Amino acid sequence: MGCCESIPDAPKNIIPDPGEKEAIVCAIDSVGMMSSDYQVWQGENTTDEEMRWFFLNKTGSVWSGAAVIDLENFKRGGNSEQPNKGEVLYSAKFEGSPQFERQYKSPTSEFTGFFSGWGVDAEDPQDSVYFDKAGFYNDGGYRRGVKWKLTTTAAISPGNRKGDSTVLKVYACGTSVCEYDRRTTEEGQVEWSYQEAEFVDQLCFNLEVGGSSVDTWSVPGDTAEGEMELRSKLFTVTKAGGWLSSQCIVKTKQDWDPMLALLVAFLCSTEYSPKAIKSDLNSNFPEDPTSWGDGGW
């Protein structure tokens, strides 16, 4: 859990768990600004406290490889050591830290790229989109770009629900850009300052149940604008405010366990959101853009 104060009180009237194959509609929103825990409401409205249905209780950090998220109902009192813990329906365990692979692009122009010995994979025309989105003004100075990709997994196990072992595989790719400004001191020394921005281009997911893939789906990253909608065989997730919104609406599909579908939908839309992915990304741009090939380049 984010902190002990983030555990919400149970509603007066406990809403029963849905059936094993029942389709449901629910809303997910954060417990609070400083909390990493979330609550689930029955229906699409999050204003009625008595319509609270489930609690998404997070322990640890996803990106440290030591996090667990329990999907709990509000039937509490069964655990004497944790009296405020509800019945666990499903749990997600994040296995290991994410693995980023980076491909650094050569100097800004094909001319300088060729004569530096780094080939001609310089800034592509389409890269200007990222610099524009970052709000960088192109004054003809040094600009650098990085293409990166990520792979990671989460293991999902049933609590008091019937189900097989499930693995959610996550793939993401993105672009980082950097623009440099040069300044010469009174002593004649050259100093560099820079600003950088990172973008997730696309996220792809593969769900394996009992060792077999049951569905794959993808969604644009934060380069897309407006409402975010994510569709799979198990659910549809909608974020009316886009990726930055803490609230989402989940509609699960008939013939799938709605609790499994709800947890997977939450992971895809929140724990593996562009913001969460970028929090662990280090583009590692050099402090001096003229030292191409040094410092990890």
Residue range of the domain that includes 215 = 4-278
CA dist 107 and 122 (Å) reads 6
286 occurs within a structural domain: no
Q: How many domains does the chain have?
A: 1
Q: pLDDT for 93-152, tens place per residue?
A: 987 677 888 887 765 444 444 444 433 344 566 778 888 888 887 666 778 888 999 999
Q: What is the spatial distance between Cα 91 and Cα 157, in angstroms, rounded to a whole number?
A: 5
Which residues touch 150 (CB under 8 Å, ≥6 apart)?
A: 98, 99, 100, 101, 170, 171, 172, 173, 174, 277, 281
State pTM to two decimals: 0.87
Q: Is residue 145 part of a domain?
A: yes
* DSSP state at residue 14: P
pLDDT digits (tens, 9 = 90+) for 220-251: 999 888 899 999 999 999 999 899 888 999 99
Within a domain: 200: yes
With bands split at pLDDT 50, 70 and 90, how would you rate the model's confidence at 297?
A: very low
Instruction: Sort residue 213 into left (φ over 0), alpha (ψ -120 to 50) or beta.
Output: beta
Closest CA to 53 of 7, 23, 18, 78: 18
- Domain assignment present for 292: no
